[in-house]
Amino acid sequence: MQDFKGRTAFITGGASGMGLGMAHAFGKAGMNIMLADITPHRLNEALAGLTAAGIVADAICLDVADRTAMANAAARTIERFGEVHVVIANAGVGIMGRVRDASYEDWDWSNGVNFGGVVNAIQEFLPLLRRQGRGHFVANASMAGLTPVAHGGLYSVQKAAVVAMSEALYTEVAGEGIGVSVICPGMVRTNIHETTALRPGNLPQSARPAAPPLKLPVDPTLFMDPMEVGDRVLRGVQSKDLYILTHNEFAPAIAERFEPILSAMADSPMAGPPPGFEGPPPGGAPSSAPDGPPRGAGGVGGAAPPPGFSVYGRVLSARQAAGA
């Protein structure tokens, strides 16, 4: 998407942090902004700030884990602005602790927001984008979705799921004029550490031993300004990037994550299909992925093939060619 003027962006978790940074970035590019957030006082402050900056904006109080509320937010956005063109599923909660120590309530609360909130946005807003035949869906994951975080197992699991879902959606709607991006930021100055206070009463905090407190770096220069994140996401959407990674300082950690995976690959391809396997339908495995690799935040295609069915399609094609 290149032309933002007069179009509309819907942003969850938009009253502070990265959501507010993206609201200002897309608003300055000429978009109308519909802010959604669960905290009314911050929502009012954010809306006032956008209006003061000359940005056309409106706001709605929203718990992203509430499916009915998400449907109402979509309807309200269309009622207010007519169409929606960029949907940013940004809302998230910070929950630390080991997987082995987590209670069902821990899982239900954090899953409902960190993963379910993205699912709900897809369910309610993607049909609108498809009906228009244009638009862009953005999901905010985390660097924790690409590389493990010590004592942050629940958070990493949910953010990895958001990455995988975004990759799948990218292949599914690429031929319909709809872009998909997943943001994987590192450390950013946000209030995510305060989100435990928003935990609903029916999903109380686990009484099990908590994980040791994280020893976060105290140097404020290590935490990116949310406004800078917003600018980087804007550029990523302009470039139709699948992956938007904000912190190149994490490149060694990403390499360390994937090098063992590559080294664990078998030395030779499998001998053949299992008994009774009939193979793909004529024409190979289906894929709507665009030609070439997905693009990174720098706007340059990477070496990896597009995710999704296209990977299996390439494997099948290689096997068919070898047997020809």
Tell me if residue 155 is catalytic. yes
Catalytic residue, from 155, 170, 243, 312: name it: 155
DSSP states along 254-273:
HHHHHHHHHHTS-SS--SSP
**Tally of CA atoms within 13 A in the half-sphere of 205 that contains its CB:** 12
Amino acid identity at 33: I
Q: Report which DSSP code applies to 97.
A: B
- The CA distance from 157 to 77, in Å, is 31
Chain centroid to CA 67: 18
Of 114, 135, 139, 224, the closest CA to residue 177 belongs to 135
Pairing of strands 86-89, 57-61: unpaired
* DSSP three-state, residue 297: coil
Catalytic residue numbers, as ranges: 155
